Amino acid sequence: MLFNSYEFIFWFLPLSVAIFFIFGKQDHRFAIAWLVVGSLFFYGWWKWIYIPLIIISILCNYFSGELLRPKPDMPLKTRKAILVFGVIFNLVLLGYFKYSNFLIDNLNEFLSTNLSVEKIILPLAISFFTFQQITYLIDAYHGETREYNFLHYRRKYCSVKFRGSFPRKPGM
């Protein structure tokens, strides 16, 4: 589903907005949860098989961020190890999906081998999503994240932000 498709404009967007406002009148947490479910549905519309991948990534990063929250009784070394694990986890996911085919093709070419792997289809926006997650982990490590509620984390760090892709003036 694309942003300019009939499915998005006449079905998904109006339904999502209507349910968001209905839930928002009851409790803002329901409205935020609806945005989370809606964004996962939108993401999965392209290829449902990647929904578990994104959910595992979201959960791993959220809980890593929770562990990175500044705590007086946690040694700095432990926090650094958690940060390194989180960054490596994200980069391994990105590397696997983005560079596995490239690596196998080059190994076959240079070593005259015939290694084969099924062509890996790149999950939608994996680079953008991965670097958003790494940013969250670094912010959590430095104590700059103010939001540790799962639904707010999911809404803030796991959604497409068009503004984030364009140059901005300081303070925007």
DSSP-derived letter for residue 8 is I
* Whether the predicted pLDDT of 3 surpasses 80: no
In the predicted model, is pLDDT for residue 129 greater than 50?
yes
What pLDDT is recorded for position 128?
87
Q: Is residue 106 part of a domain?
A: yes
User: Mind listing the pLDDT tens digit for each residue in 44-95?
Assistant: 888 888 899 989 999 999 999 989 988 888 898 999 999 999 999 999 999 9
Q: Let me know whether 98 and 114 are in one domain.
A: yes
Nearest CA to 150 out of 81, 17, 55, 16 is that of 55
Q: Residue 29's domain spans which residues?
A: 1-46
CA distance 85 to 100: 21
Closest listed residue to residue 87, CA positions, set 102, 54, 65: 65
Domain count, the chain: 2
Judge if 39 and 102 occupy the same domain: no
Looking at the domain assignment, is residue 119 inside a domain?
Answer: yes
In this prediction, residue 155 has a pLDDT band, given cuts at 50, 70 and 90, of low
Clarify whether residues 59 and 122 are in a common domain. yes
